[in-house]
Structure 1
Amino acid sequence: MTPHHTDKKILWTIFLTILIDMLGIGILIPVFPMLVVPHSTFRVTPDNWSAAQGFVMLGWLMTCFPIAQFLCAPILGQLADRFGRKKILALSISGTVLSYILFAIGILTKNLPLMFIARALDGASGGNISVAQAVIGDISSPQSRAKNFGLIGMAFGLGFILGPFIGGKLSDPNLVSWFNSATPFWFAAILSTINVILVIRLLPETLHIRSENRIDFTRPIHNIIKAFSINGLKSIIPATFLFNAGFTFYTTFWGVVLAEQFGFTQGKIGDFYAYIGIMVILAQGLIVRRLSGKVQDYKVLRYSIIGSGLCLIGYYFIPVSHPNLVYLLPPFMATCNALSMSFSAALITRVSPPQIRGEAMGINSSANALAQAIPAILAGYIATHHARLPVLVGGFTIILGGLLFRYLFKPGRDDIHGQEGV
């Protein structure tokens, strides 16, 4: 098999790996808001809890994943640089399988501590995306890098089309009498098991220059320092940190807004996020892939990040009396997000030497995990004042990230490989 065909096989294997991983995540989206909304039959919080108490609990539950990911993703990145991508990817997805099983049991028994443990376990094994991104970095040329990351973005989008749609249906007892809020988690566990098999059977090892460094278990803390000190990364990470922080304000509580203020059922919430996924797919296929290799990555990011923030601010002002207006913003938001995610990942791999590319993606994942942890907690408390307020805060946070990137990133100075690629 020629190197070209081998790379295509690897690319499509990673595509399927991330697609199935995102399906597992997307399936959960319609369920989470229903766990705390007072009128929901899926409510797991005590009957004497107020809606505000449920919001705070949801914020803490959502933050378990990124905190654990912050602590463990850098270690998985180091392990992937030392022992290879394939073994670590299979191991991390296996942890995800167990976490889904535990969360399903937690829902059925209304065992909140077990649900927290399950989310933390999923976060601890959640370095699979950064390892998969390192694989893409291993096989990508400077010219194909953004395009290949765009394909991965399509996997994200497709996962968010099918995942929430499937999750909404699998949790609807009106369709099948034995469906409940735990059913999507059982299905996600099955999908992730298939994912492990795919990695073991189809993915060849892509790491040819292995790191000899010892595993540093204090790396999560060091990574935050490194993220703001390494040339190249220090000009990108602050912006991606604020981008992910701002978007977490949106993802944590917009589903709650849809359920509480607009009267969306779990099925309709799933349909809404599936619609967003369709927009992401179109943006990746029609815009990102066409811009790859033609427009410099940092120039795209200067505009796309700020555009994402403006879209979130727009969500805040949608009147309750016109719920269908929520469908107007996703095409614009999906385009800006697709550009921001694909070109920022491509830029990070471009400024990272091959032998530490896994570590660099681990640093990025670590910073992003911390960026998701802090807003998830804050959003729970902010939402007690107004359910939509986290969305407004998120929009301004992302805009700040875009302005910071325009100020910090200097072409040439921050690019280790000089004028390599776009």
Structure 2
Amino acid sequence: MRQVPVEQLADTIIVKSPQSFRLVAPFFIVIILDAIGFGIIAPLLAPLVAQASHVLWGAHASSYVIHILYGLILAAFPISYMIGAPILGALSDYLGRKQVLFFCLVGVLIGFICYVLSFSLASISLLILGRVLAGFTSGSQGVAQAAMADISLASKDKAINIGMIAVAMTLGLVLGPLVGGELSNPKWISWFSLTTPFYFVILLSIFNLFILLIWVKSDNNISHQAVLPHLTQHWQNFIALFKSTKICLLLVVFFFFELGWSLYYQSLALFLAEQFHFQAQTIGLFLTYVGIILSFGLIAIVRLAVNYLKLKTVIFIALLIGVISLIAVYGFHLFIGQCLLVIPVTFAVALIYTSLITLVSNLVAKDQQGLLMGTTDGLLALAFAITGFLAGWLAYFNINLPFLVAGCFWLVALIIVRIIYGLMS
């Protein structure tokens, strides 16, 4: 779920030897798994919302109830991730990376088994349980990143490994919808069905468990200090972070920005299913296209913009373009228009995210950088949880309405940015 600045995406990835590959590979796959787990469900589930009679929803479910359930299913993953990430991160400092990652991979495995059973038994409860389990244990993303930092012997190695983290996140963002759409397509192989993508992730989880046990050594330098005082200190540092008015306002901007982006992204699958009657395969390809355009924006467009413009100018212009584009998405009903409007929206996301994070980071002390990144990650997860529900609920009233509301979120962010710049001047 986490997005990453362009500086990380643009790092050259070099695996210098088979030994270094064996060290990094288990953590690399964990991060890909987390990203796939988030994005795999929407292409499969959205077409079923348009088929109100599908057995998954029950015999007497109304259209309103189906849209609410769809929103709850989307929201279950990010809200569980938000809860799990700090807990698993703290436990990994105390118990060791390998032990916590093993627990997380087992949790992901059980979560995806619940996915399979939910479709086989037509059980919404099992599907939501699977989303909760997969979301909570996807908090392992931070643990995997910490483990990759642990094995970096020099700053150059760390830069390379951070680059690999960014590549893994991007691969997961692109592969999640693609796996969901293509592995459920019986045109490729006759026995492919809605559950086939989940079997693929289950096999990938088992493979990752195997190489984790074989290739990763247990931690020798585990800190056995009490966890409670450690967390208490983190809470005090967190409160101190919000004493700066500028930081508070920029984090509010970040939250409204993420509300707009996440509502747009999470509404796309249902919009394509209900507006154009697309099936899982086409929806998966479209969301993959969104991921590719976003990746290009992070790699190329951001570097181009920051070389010629100040960060605050980049944020203001990108938000303005984003608001106009989202309003256009709301009013434009042709598919070709949606394909074209993805470009300014995702480029705006790349520009706003990296510029905002950099701007806030410049206002924070060096020893608070980790806390800041954890805070923004929590805000991102909260935004995706809120808008996961909104994506289903708002679509019941009007399938285009989520895009208009997303534009309003960005408009609020734009107004706050203007206020901040007034304070800075």
Q: TM-score, normalised by structure 2?
A: 0.76
2:383 is equivalent to residue 368 of structure 1: no
**Deviations, residues 86-119 of structure 1 (Å, cap 9, x unaligned):** 5544533432222111111111111111111111
* Cα pair distance change 1:198/1:327, threshold 3 Å: farther
2:81 is matched with which residue?
A: 69
Q: Are the counterparts in 1 of residues 261 and 349 from structure 2 also a CA contact under 8 Å?
A: no
1:189-229 deviations in whole A, cap 9, x for unaligned? 2233444556666679999996956247998x969974972
1:92 aligns with 2:79: no
In the alignment, what sits opposite 1:250? 264
* Offset, 1:289: 5.6
Alignment partner of 1:44 is 2:59: no
Q: Cα offset for 1:273?
A: 1.0
Q: 2:195 aligns with which of 170, 182, 189?
A: 182
Aligned counterparts of 1:295 and 1:147: Cα–Cα separation in 2? 28
What amino acid maps onto 2:126 in structure 1?
L
Q: Shift of residue 389 of structure 1? A: 0.6
CA distance in 1, matches of 2:250, 2:127: 34
Contact 2:253 2:417 in 1 (8 A): yes
- Say whether residues 1:59 and 2:52 are aligned partners: no
Task: Give the length in aligned residue pairs.
Answer: 407
Question: Counterpart amino acid of 1:318?
Answer: F
- Among 397, 400, 424, the residue aligned to 1:388: 400
> In structure 1, what residue type is equivalent to 2:375?
I
In the alignment, what sits opposite 2:46? 33
Q: What is the aligned counterpart of 1:191 among 200, 204, 213?
A: 204
Deviates further, 63-72 or 225-234: 225-234
* Corresponding residue number in structure 1 for 2:275: 261
Residues 376-411 of structure 1: CA deviation (Å, up to 9, x unaligned): 333333222111111210122133234435644899
User: What secondary structure, in the 3-state scheme, does the structure 2 residue paired with 1:261 have?
Assistant: helix
Distance 1:96 1:261, change over 3 A: same
The 5-angstrom pairing of residues 91-110 of structure 1 reads 91-110=103-122
Measure how far apart 1:20 and its partner are: 3.9
**Structure 1 residues 114-133: aligned runs within 5 Å:** 114-132=126-144
- 1:29–1:227: structure 2 CA closer, same or farther, 3 Å change rule? farther
Residues 261-292 of structure 1, C-alpha deviation per residue, up to 9 Å, x if partnerless?
11212111111111112212322332346678
Aligned-partner Cα distance in 1 for 2:156–2:419? 26
Distance verdict in 2 for CA 1:45–1:402, change over 3 Å: same
Q: How does 1:299-338 map to 2 (within 5 A)?
A: 300-319=314-333, 322-338=334-350
TM-score (norm 1): 0.77
> 1-side partners of 2:210 and 2:360: how far apart?
29
Kindly provide the amino acid, as one letter, of the partner of residue 168 in structure 1: G
- 1:48 and 1:160, CA in 2 relative to 1: closer, same or farther beyond 3 A? same
Q: Do the aligned partners of 1:253 and 1:379 also contact (CA within 8 Å) in 2?
A: yes
Q: RMSD in angstroms over aligned alpha carbons?
A: 4.6
- Secondary structure at the aligned position of 2:399 is classed as coil
1:240 counterpart = 2:240: no
* 8 Å Cα contact 1:103-1:185 kept in structure 2: yes
Counterpart of 2:178 in 1: which secondary structure? helix
> Could you say which residue in structure 1 is the equivalent of 2:186?
173
Query: For residues 118 and 105 of structure 1, do their structure 2 counterparts lie closer, same or farther at Cα, with a shift above 3 Å needed?
Result: same
Aligned to 1:277: 291
How far 1:46 sits from its partner (Å)?
1.6
- Alpha-carbon deviation of 1:311? 3.2
**Shift of residue 306 of structure 1?**
4.9
Match of residue 164, structure 1, among 159, 177, 197:
177
Q: Percent identity?
A: 27
Question: What is the aligned partner in structure 1 of residue 351 from structure 2?
Answer: 339
Distance 1:197 1:301, change over 3 A: farther
Q: Is the 8 A contact 2:98 2:212 kept in 1?
A: yes
- Give 1 or 2 for the bigger CA radius of gyration: 2
Matching of residues 200-211 of structure 1 within 5 Å: none
In 2, distance between residues paired with 1:203 and 1:353? Answer: 34
Residue 77 of structure 1 contacts residue 358 of structure 1 at CA under 8 Å; is this kept in 2?
A: no
Does structure 2 retain, via aligned residues, the 8 Å contact 1:301–1:339? yes
Distance 1:226 1:14, change over 3 A: farther
Instruction: Work out whether residues 81 and 356 of structure 1, in 8 Å CA contact, stay in contact via their aligned partners in 2.
Output: no
